[in-house]
Amino acid sequence: MIGRLFFNIIAGMLGLFLSIKLSQIQAISFIYGIEYSGPVRTVLITGGFLGLINFFVKPILDKISLPLKIITLGLSGLIINMFMIWVVVDIFSPIEIKGIIPLFWTTIIVWLLSLIFGLSRSSAK
């Protein structure tokens, strides 16, 4: 349980950091629209809080939205994840995500990292 919390926090931190860095690269045009010019420490704190939200709040939201997930074939789960990232970034950080496309790609990056860290944690047992 502590390991899962740790990996959620790391995935949130690394996901936000990678999203910001990828948006600053001119060759990658699909994730434009994320602005941040502050210290890395703030991104890591925001990502850590995102990991805590994913660990504590997301299981509750998953249980509440289960009928909607069944009807939409899981698409509502993506929308819930996008909403959680948007709320955390909007309230707790000077990171500015302009538009739904950068928010979508940030959500995908955080989700992929959570999946990778979850698989590595389960294979280490």
Give, for all 125 residues of the chain, the pLDDT tens digit: 888 889 889 999 999 999 888 888 877 766 788 888 888 898 889 989 999 998 999 999 999 999 999 999 989 999 999 999 999 998 877 888 888 999 999 999 999 998 888 776 565 55
Contact 15, 47 (CB under 8 A): yes
Q: Can you give the pTM of this predicted structure?
A: 0.85
| Residue 102 burial (CB count, 10 A) | 20
Q: 40-56 and 100-123 are packed helices; what angle lies between their axes, rounded to 10 degrees?
A: 70
Q: 100-123 and 2-24 are packed helices; what angle lies between their axes, rounded to 10 degrees?
A: 140
What does the domain layout of the chain look like in residue ranges? 2-123
